[in-house]
Amino acid sequence: VPLSLGSAGVALDAETQVSQIQQALVNNLHWVQGKDEQFANAHDYYTALAHSVRNQLLKKRIRTAKTYAEAKAKNVYYLSAEFLMGRQLGNGLINLGMYDTMRHALADCGLDLDELLEREAEPGLGNGGLGRLAACFMDSLTTLNLPAIGYGIRYEFGIFTQLIRQGHQVEAPDKWLSYGNPWEIARPDYRVEIKFGGHTEVYKKDGDDDYQVRWIQAQTVIGIPHDVPVPGYGTDNVNLLRLWKAEAGEAFDLDAFNAGDYFGAVANKMISENITKVLYPNDETRQGKELRLQQQYFFVACSLQDIIRLHLRDHSNLGNLAEFSAIQLNDTHPAIGVAELMRLLIDEYSFEWAAAWQITQRTFGYTNHTLMPEALEKWSVDLFGKLLPRHLEIIYEINHRFLAQVKLRYPNDPDRLERLSLIEEGGERRVRMANLACVGSHAINGVAALHTELLKQEVLQDFYELWPDKFSNKTNGITPRRWLLQCNPRLAQLISETIGDSWITNLDDLKQLEAHLDDEAFRHAWQAIKQENKWSLARYIHDAVGIEVNPDSMFDVQIKRIHEYKRQLMNVLHVITLYNRMVQNPGDHVVPRTVIFGGKAAPGYAMAKLVVKLINAVADVVNNDPSVNGRLKVVFLPNYNVSQAQRLFPASDLSEQISTAGMEASGTGNMKFALNGALTIGTLDGANVEIREEVGADNFFLFGLTTEQVAACKAVGHNPWYYYDTNPELKRTLDVIASGLFSPGEPDLFLPILDSLLVDDPYMVMADFAAYVQCQEHVSRTYEDRDRWVRMAILNTARIGKFSADRTIADYAREIWKVKAVPVAGE
């Protein structure tokens, strides 16, 4: 690519800016990549550009660190095993306010910004909703000028790459670091030592009458922090994401090397470094894998040492830790932190139990993200004691004191005691991480109103009865920067031209769009943008999977992890039903649809993988049947990730949010669709309930059983055969699958799906199917009245302000963390 520095053809001030940008780029190309313009490829330019942005961010970070240290303000520490950040370059440019200038500066040298943005590897350090929420929270924390560090794991391999081979999901390793990562800075000077295994012993400290406990470890692992700067929008503050990488302990190396066992020493190095090797690809269901517990303890122990180091830098002792630190547990994955902080305070800093416990409880908050009982983390006591012998002792002591307190309150209720215990008895004894998180925190929250109510009534009922004041709801949110401004620039511009740009940091201002609902030119512009976005997605689909889709058809989209409770199966049954109708009544009028799926199945989740295969198999038949005549297309986009999401939301007409009521804690994709003017077909589940409240029942396609009806149905005994026998279309749909139409040569392939539907149908697909199909008909009729549809779409965007992560974070900050903004003064 030639790089010639010419005139930018813009105003003088901007012109100097442009030439400075160009100079910085060339410098980085030379001094970071070691190439000149003649040999540089697009990836070299990407890296040079990334370093230009990184330099700006680091400049701001240095001032932020100074400001925070001087203010001695309270900090938020967000502990999360996952941060699904998405690509950083575009986001950094937008947050620095450099996006347009950079585009011009690059174009001026014959470089295309969009092309360079595509060179960035996807940092997929999360499974789905929980990890992406953590990323949106980091964006909002900085935008609100709240002092914060996100602590997590620097996985060498993120979420697996999904390939589709003969319609089946195949997993490949995600080598996201192979070209280096310009966004991170290793900080070996802040390394920490982490112990594993061994035993504990009692000893007497010099000059002290009291006994102390010490932990003699079997192994030491080193944690090296890797810092990623997190910019905010319209602020000079830059917070940190601090991710830990495991390396072998040096003392350990020395012993082995001295003993002459060179190869053994190197092998042990590999064992240590395994800890941060790979992200576990499970979403919702958990297997009690030893390495997973090691990962959890490793990153939490590293983070707590770091938090203590920072506290002691500014304060004389740890007695006031809770006044200056709020630590939030993102689900139970970091819940071991409760026991670790107790261990540090008691064993390392000689606190009394009661004082240590008060500090711990006042410091931690716990967010629950799931109601699915199989998703509640429990670790076998055996494994726990082997890996973390001191923590098991501490957990027993916490439990002992806790249950004594419960006994006073409920003297004759052994069942309640058993349910509240941190240890599950009967069969293999296990440590209940949710119970540990609850007793060790002063605040417990769910992630949507319905979810929090169900937590209080079901999963955490006993804790709620014990401590009702600990509980609150914090409905999830998304960052409008990535999920509108960045991913849908055309719509963002139309909105800003219409109502100004205050919505970017005050999403409720989108309400002002309602005043323009009757402006025909505005509606046309809105529709034209959706159309352009659909054209561009159609090109992407063609490049990715070779399918031609009709951009004038309704884009009906379901993108999320593949899970039975999310009911992608119900969606594909609807597709088959539409297909059957076309085959049976070829002359009937239909509203053309493109049904798009994206999502990964956990590699060990056979039923989810079979659903992926069914979607692809149905796509093969439907897309190649000439009698369908392009009126129905089915697309499965492989390897759904944040970058792909950024293309999909802006081009969607219909958002599928069809989980069994009571099963989706919140959902956040639902918010991204509505923000981009897609209409929702959905159940009364998770945040759908609140979205519908906000956008209005008339602008939301509701169907299906409620949480209470699902429970009632299950209580009396749900009989899926009834629906098969009484609904001829449903019968035909299942019969077609059973006929082998979608599995030529493998007639039994989809039997497990049919069995699951007809034997117990745990996710109520059969019970909700008729209502879903009927609702879809209503959707199609509405889509035919394009003007009505556009009005509904505008109202969805206009009324979605509540679901800004800025609002969510402001609520956490005020009600749980008690932290205040510390803005960095302008230069």
Query: Which residues make up the interface to ligand 26M (CB under 6 A)?
Result: 127-130, 133, 280, 282-284, 286, 292, 369-370, 375, 447, 476, 664-668, 686
List 170's β-bridge partners, or say none.
163
CB neighbours of residue 172 within 10 Å = 10
Q: How far is the CB of 243 from ligand 26M (least distance, A)?
A: 16
Residue 685 near residue 663, CB atoms below 8 Å? yes
What DSSP letter does each residue of 574-610 carry, written as one string? HHHHHHHHHHH-TTS----EEEEEE-PPPTT-HHHHH
Could you confirm whether 672 is annotated as catalytic?
yes
**Token couple for 467:** 């401590």
Judged by beta carbon, residue 375 or residue 749, the one nearer ligand 26M is 375
Nearest-CB residue for ligand 26M: 129
- Phi/psi of residue 52, nearest 5 degrees: -60, -45
Q: How far is the CB of 214 from ligand 26M (least distance, A)?
A: 31
Q: How far is the CB of 284 from ligand 26M (least distance, A)?
A: 5
Considering the candidates 61, 672, 692, 799, report the single residue annotated as catalytic: 672
Q: What is the largest CA-CA distance in the chain?
A: 95
Judged by beta carbon, residue 159 or residue 766, the one nearer ligand 26M is 159
Angstrom distance (rounded) from CA 163 to CA 616: 12
**Token couple for 253:** 């190396």
Judged by beta carbon, residue 667 or residue 677, the one nearer ligand 26M is 667
Considering the candidates 51, 442, 456, 566, report the single residue annotated as catalytic: 566
Q: Which residues, in sequence order, are CB contacts of 813 under 8 Å at separation 6+?
A: 76, 144, 146, 819, 820
Judged by beta carbon, residue 236 or residue 284, the one nearer ligand 26M is 284
Could you confirm whether 292 is annotated as catalytic?
no
Considering the candidates 561, 567, 600, 692, report the single residue annotated as catalytic: 561
Could you confirm whether 560 is annotated as catalytic?
yes
Judged by beta carbon, residue 507 or residue 665, the one nearer ligand 26M is 665
Q: How far is CA 2 from CA 19, 102, 124, 734, in A?
A: 16, 17, 32, 59
Judged by beta carbon, residue 371 or residue 406, the one nearer ligand 26M is 371
Considering the candidates 119, 132, 242, 369, report the single residue annotated as catalytic: 369
Measured in whole angstroms, the distance separating CA 709 from the mean position of its chain's CA atoms is 30
Q: How far is the CB of 603 from ligand 26M (least distance, A)?
A: 11
Q: How far is the CB of 518 from ligand 26M (least distance, A)?
A: 35
Angstrom distance (rounded) from CA 391 to CA 823: 39
Q: Which residues, in sequence order, are CB contacts of 732 under 8 Å at separation 6+?
A: 577, 580
Q: How far is the CB of 311 from ligand 26M (least distance, A)?
A: 29
Q: Which residues, in sequence order, are CB contacts of 317 under 8 Å at separation 6+?
A: 349
**Token couple for 462:** 């006993």
Measured in whole angstroms, the distance separating CA 169 from the mean position of its chain's CA atoms is 21
Judged by beta carbon, residue 67 or residue 169, the one nearer ligand 26M is 169
Considering the candidates 311, 534, 560, 609, report the single residue annotated as catalytic: 560
Angstrom distance (rounded) from CA 254 to CA 264: 12
In our burial notation (b when 16+ CB lie closer than 10 A, e otherwise), range 84-104 reads bbbbbbbbbbbbbebbebbeb
Torsion of CA 666, 672, 675, 677, to 10 degrees: -110
Judged by beta carbon, residue 143 or residue 666, the one nearer ligand 26M is 666
Q: How far is the CB of 559 from ligand 26M (least distance, A)?
A: 13
Could you confirm whether 530 is annotated as catalytic?
no
CB neighbours of residue 489 within 10 Å = 16
Q: How far is the CB of 139 from ligand 26M (least distance, A)?
A: 15
β-pair type (430-432, 423-424): antiparallel
- Which amino acid is it at 117? L
Angstrom distance (rounded) from CA 74 to CA 147: 7
Judged by beta carbon, residue 240 or residue 433, the one nearer ligand 26M is 433
Judged by beta carbon, residue 330 or residue 505, the one nearer ligand 26M is 330
Judged by beta carbon, residue 284 or residue 653, the one nearer ligand 26M is 284
Judged by beta carbon, residue 604 or residue 747, the one nearer ligand 26M is 604
Phi-psi region of 394 (alpha: psi -120 to 50; beta: other; left: phi over 0): alpha
Could you confirm whether 731 is annotated as catalytic?
no
Nearest to 188 by CA among 138, 106, 244, 118: 244
Could you confirm whether 442 is annotated as catalytic?
no
Angstrom distance (rounded) from CA 52 to CA 32: 10
Angstrom distance (rounded) from CA 616 to CA 101: 43
In our burial notation (b when 16+ CB lie closer than 10 A, e otherwise), range 577-600 reads bbbeebeeeeeeeebbbbbbbbbb
Residue 226 near residue 135, CB atoms below 8 Å? no
Measured in whole angstroms, the distance separating CA 408 from the mean position of its chain's CA atoms is 41
Nearest to 561 by CA among 649, 475, 669, 477: 669
Judged by beta carbon, residue 235 or residue 476, the one nearer ligand 26M is 476
Q: How many CA atoms lie within 13 A of 290 on its CB side?
A: 11
Q: How far is CA 443 from CA 152, 284, 470, 815, in A?
A: 21, 23, 5, 9
Give the residue carrying structure tokens 């639902």. 670
Q: Give me the active site residues, please.
A: 369, 560-561, 566, 668, 672
